[in-house]
């Protein structure tokens, strides 16, 4: 058994990749316990992981299990064209929330950038397939009035799972990061 603490902390990307390759090779014939603050490192190296907040273990499982259980959805990023007005941005936001993907929640909005959180299943049990979501997004991009420059649809990340637990920990300890 090998215990490793913060294996690639402070390393440049090339050195980090080399150490990750070494750890992956070594893990083929021995058990490794790795502590890290890097969700990217955890996702690259771990077959099972646990997230700890405030000294307490909050969850354990495979990366995919934790993503599915604790977030279980997608993140949609929309970047509007530079010439889009605030009214266009508002119209696009309303179109996504009310028509295109009614189960979506607005997570962030910065100027012409919109980020939505889309749960795997809506509260009424109806959900869009990935194919349906891409069809909706392509239609929005082709509609000149929406002024969608580009979009990205991705599965929720391990980093987002960690942040969710960290926020809950902050609240349970009475910490306020605002």
Burial class (CB in 10 A: 0-12, 13-18, 19+), 154: exposed
pLDDT of residue 151: 97
pLDDT of residue 177: 44
pLDDT for 24 beyond 90: yes
Q: Closest by alpha carbon to 112, among 151, 85, 145?
A: 85
Contact indicator for 7, 36 with CB cutoff of 8 Å: yes
Contact indicator for 140, 146 with CB cutoff of 8 Å: yes
Q: Class assignment of domain 2-68+159-172? A: alpha beta
Segments making up each domain of the chain, as ranges: 2-68+159-172, 73-155
pLDDT for 87 beyond 80: yes
What are the DSSP calls for 66-98, one per residue? HHHHHT-EEEEEEEE-TT--HHHHHHHHHHIII
pLDDT for 89 beyond 50: yes
Burial class (CB in 10 A: 0-12, 13-18, 19+), 95: middle
How do strand 73-80 and strand 105-110 relate by DSSP bridges? unpaired
pLDDT of residue 128: 74
Q: What is the pLDDT of residues 35-78, one digit of tens each?
A: 999 989 999 999 999 998 888 898 999 988 888 888 768 899 99
Q: What is the pLDDT of residues 113-170, one digit of tens each?
A: 999 988 876 666 667 788 889 999 999 999 999 999 999 999 888 888 888 888 876 5
* CATH code, residues 73-155: 3.30.70.1150
Q: What is the mean pLDDT of residues 174-178?
A: 44
**Same fold yes or no, 2-68+159-172 and 73-155:** no
SS3 for 58?
strand
Collect contacts of 28-32 with beta carbons under 8 A, ≥24 apart.
Answer: 30/1, 30/2, 31/1, 31/2, 32/1, 32/2, 32/3, 32/4
pLDDT of residue 175: 41
In angstroms, how far is the first alpha carbon of the chain from the final one?
A: 42
């Amino acid at each position: 058994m090998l215990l490793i603490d913060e294996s690639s902390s402070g390393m440049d990307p090339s050195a980090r990749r080399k150490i990750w390759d070494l750890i992956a090779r070594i893990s083929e014939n021995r058990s490794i316990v790795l502590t890290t603050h890097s969700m990217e490192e955890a996702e690259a190296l771990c077959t099972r992981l646990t997230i700890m907040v405030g000294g307490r273990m909050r969850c354990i499982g495979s990366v995919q299990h934790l993503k599915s259980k604790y977030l279980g959805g997608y993140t949609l990023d929309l970047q509007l064209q530079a010439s889009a007005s605030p009214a266009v941005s508002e119209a696009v936001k309303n179109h996504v929330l009310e028509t295109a993907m009614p189960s979506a929640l607005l997570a962030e909005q910065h100027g012409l950038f919109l980020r939505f959180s889309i749960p795997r299943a809506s509260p009424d049990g109806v959900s869009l397939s990935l194919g349906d979501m891409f069809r909706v997004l392509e239609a929005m991009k082709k509609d000149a009035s929406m002024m969608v420059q580009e979009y990205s649809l991705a599965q929720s990340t391990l980093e987002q799972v960690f942040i969710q637990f960290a926020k809950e920990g902050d609240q349970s300890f009475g910490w306020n990061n605002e």
